[in-house]
Amino acid sequence: MTIALRNADVFAAEDLPLLCVRGLTRTYGTRIGCAEVDLDVWPGEVLAIVGESGSGKSTLLNCISARLEPTSGTVCYRMRDGEMRDLYRLQEAERRLLLRTDWGFVHQNPADGLRMTVSAGANVGERLMAVGDRHYGRIRETATDWLGRVEISADRIDDQPRAFSGGMRQRLQIARNLVTGPRLVFMDEPTGGLDVSVQARLLDLLRGLVNDLGLAVIIVTHDLAVARLLSHRMIVMKDGNVIEHGLTDRLLDDPQAPYTQLLVSSILQV
């Protein structure tokens, strides 16, 4: 009887969103960052936020990842115990724990997401220690394993990321974020600063990891090709507003809003 009830709970949880955003607005003085945004993200789903520079993508991402307090609106997250909690009503310590464990945040600039003057192994191991792992040998083994998964050879484990190339740094940042088995990862232009061939490899790697781990991801990009490759669903922003949302394939093949039509046709012409 107990087991049956537990199973029912698990199934119910799968049907519920991981993140619910309602009426989210952030202003900077009189300037609008983002306005009245509603969105849901389900477990294992990849959502892309696209739009031109200044459209409010980073503002929105920072607000929904507890890094920037919204002016109004709510962001609720399903905690591991199944309870839906308003992020901005959590204790500061609870919020920090989420950021260090259940969530990942991949910055455009790897230097913002790494500690540049400690070793690659320590960058990955640090996140494990944040979830309570204290066994040095095991931490090093897991770090080595994760370096391998992001195609960094084990003999670089004691090097500092400042001795790495841009692509390697970004892969290290990804390993550092994924090692704790987060359920939700935020990414702001993760391939932004890289040259095209490095970008393509990184995207391939990301796609594999996201599929294998069943991660939910919210990814900001101005690049529709990145959205096409990685995401299931997209929202299109302009001047702080969501002007179109839908399944990625539908939205890119048959955009409805004139602005989205323009975005799509402009990349097709390149």
Binding positions for ligand ATP, rule: CB under 6 A: 28, 31, 33, 51, 53-59, 222
Assess 108 for contact with Mg ion (CB under 5 A).
Answer: no
When CB distances are held under 5 to 8 angstroms depending on the partner's kind, the choice from ligand ATP, Mg ion, none that residue 51 binds is ligand ATP
Q: Coil, strand or helix: which one is 28?
A: strand
The CA distance from 107 to 222, in Å, is 14
Of 37, 71, 60, 42, which Cα lies nearest the Cα of 244?
A: 37
Give every strand in the sheet of 216-220, ordered side by side.
Answer: 103-106, 184-188, 216-220, 46-51, 233-238, 241-247
Looking at the Cβ atoms of 59 and 260, the one nearer to ligand ATP is: 59
Looking at the Cβ atoms of 56 and 182, the one nearer to ligand ATP is: 56
Looking at the Cβ atoms of 133 and 223, the one nearer to ligand ATP is: 223
Nearest-approach distance from CB 32 to Mg ion, in angstroms? 15
When CB distances are held under 5 to 8 angstroms depending on the partner's kind, the choice from Mg ion, ligand ATP, none that residue 193 binds is none
Backbone angles phi, psi at 117, to 5 degrees: -110, 15
Residues contacting residue 200 through CB under 8 Å, at least 6 positions apart:
none
Instruction: Please answer whether residues 177 and 102 qualify as being in contact, where contact means their C-beta atoms are separated by less than 8 angstroms.
Output: no
When CB distances are held under 5 to 8 angstroms depending on the partner's kind, the choice from ligand ATP, Mg ion, none that residue 191 binds is none
Segment contacting Mg ion by CB under 5 A, of 25-33, 56-64, 167-175, 203-211:
56-64
Looking at the Cβ atoms of 58 and 65, the one nearer to Mg ion is: 58
Quick one: tokens of 158?
Answer: 């004691």
Nearest-approach distance from CB 51 to Mg ion, in angstroms? 9
Query: Residue count at the site for Mg ion (CB under 5 A)?
Result: 1
Looking at the Cβ atoms of 50 and 206, the one nearer to ligand ATP is: 50
Looking at the Cβ atoms of 59 and 101, the one nearer to ligand ATP is: 59
Nearest-approach distance from CB 242 to ligand ATP, in angstroms? 12
The CA distance from 177 to 186, in Å, is 10
Of 232, 193, 192, which Cα lies nearest the Cα of 215?
A: 232
Assess 58 for contact with Mg ion (CB under 5 A).
Answer: yes
Other Cβ atoms within 10 Å of 50 Cβ, number: 25
Assess 62 for contact with Mg ion (CB under 5 A).
Answer: no
Burial of 52 (0-12, 13-18, 19+ CB in 10 A): middle
Nearest-approach distance from CB 125 to ligand ATP, in angstroms? 31
Nearest-approach distance from CB 106 to ligand ATP, in angstroms? 15
Looking at the Cβ atoms of 76 and 237, the one nearer to Mg ion is: 237
Of 170, 155, 171, 159, which Cα lies nearest the Cα of 120?
A: 159
The CA distance from 182 to 98, in Å, is 9
Nearest-approach distance from CB 72 to Mg ion, in angstroms? 21
Q: Which residues bind Mg ion (CB under 5 A)?
A: 58
